[in-house]
Amino acid sequence: MASAWQMALSALQRNLDNGDKRTDPWLLVYSPVPVALIFLVYLCVVWVGPRLMKHREPVDLKAVLIVYNFAMVVLSAYMFHEFLVTSWLSNYSLLCQPVDYSTSPLAMRMARACWWFFFSKVIELTDTFFFILRKKNSQLTFLHVYHHGTMIFNWWAGVKYVAGGQSFFIGVVNTFVHIIMYSYYGLAAIGPHMQKYLWWKRYLTSLQLVQFMLFLLHTGYNLFAECNFPYSMNAFVFGYCVTLIILFSNFYYQSYLSKKKQK
């Protein structure tokens, strides 16, 4: 038993040491332990939070939400710019792009963009805390918790092993979607009088579904193309996108199509 445990630890250590040496020193990157602890705290808050708030009044977070959401718009716009410009200057291929593990200025710029994208997923866990404090428990769906909780692991692995290459495609598309999404949330936080300008809420879900379909097609192509990018990473992203398409499609149906039929 002890020998098997030592072998497992040795295999884990080799796996950690085989990461991207450029990103290993960066915050939260070298080991999955800090991210795992963040995830466990997140799950505890999701479970305990609504119970603690059950007999309390919702917290008024209007000013906080306005600042937070528009700050996320700025961060998303920055990351979108970095992914787009760096990939353009580096002559990235849209269909198949290996990771440049060098320390050239452009390669490091892309790696930093990937790290910021990963860290933004940690920041976005705050969305859930705001729901809990405002007693918006109907928003704490399996889709919400699953999507937020798993993204930090997905992009930890991205920064740890493939900080660049065709990962940029996910970064470009997702940050563009988040510019629109957090703009909506920021405007909605201003007050009820903004609702008449926010008729396009349902199209946010459609846009999210379109991005997942793009990711599915992109990674699906690379599963069969001869591309010097880890096959395991493409296979994982492909499977993950399938789960998100199923969950978001169900959400869209329940939120819009099903209610329309009932009316």
The number of residues making up the chain comes to 263
For 21-37, b where at least 16 C-beta lie within 10 A, e where not — what string? ebbeebebbeebeebee
CA distances from 155 to 12, 58, 59, 170, 216 (A): 18, 33, 31, 10, 17
Catalytic residue among 55, 81, 144, 147: 147
Determine how many CB atoms are found less than 10 A away from the CB of residue 19: 18
| DSSP per position, 15-62 | HHHTS-TTTTTSTTTS-SHHHHHHHHHHHHHHHHHHHHHTTSPPP--H
Task: Identify residue 13 by its one-letter amino acid code.
Answer: Q
∠183-187-190 over CA atoms, to 5°?
A: 145
Active site residue 81: no
Q: Which residues are catalytic?
A: 147
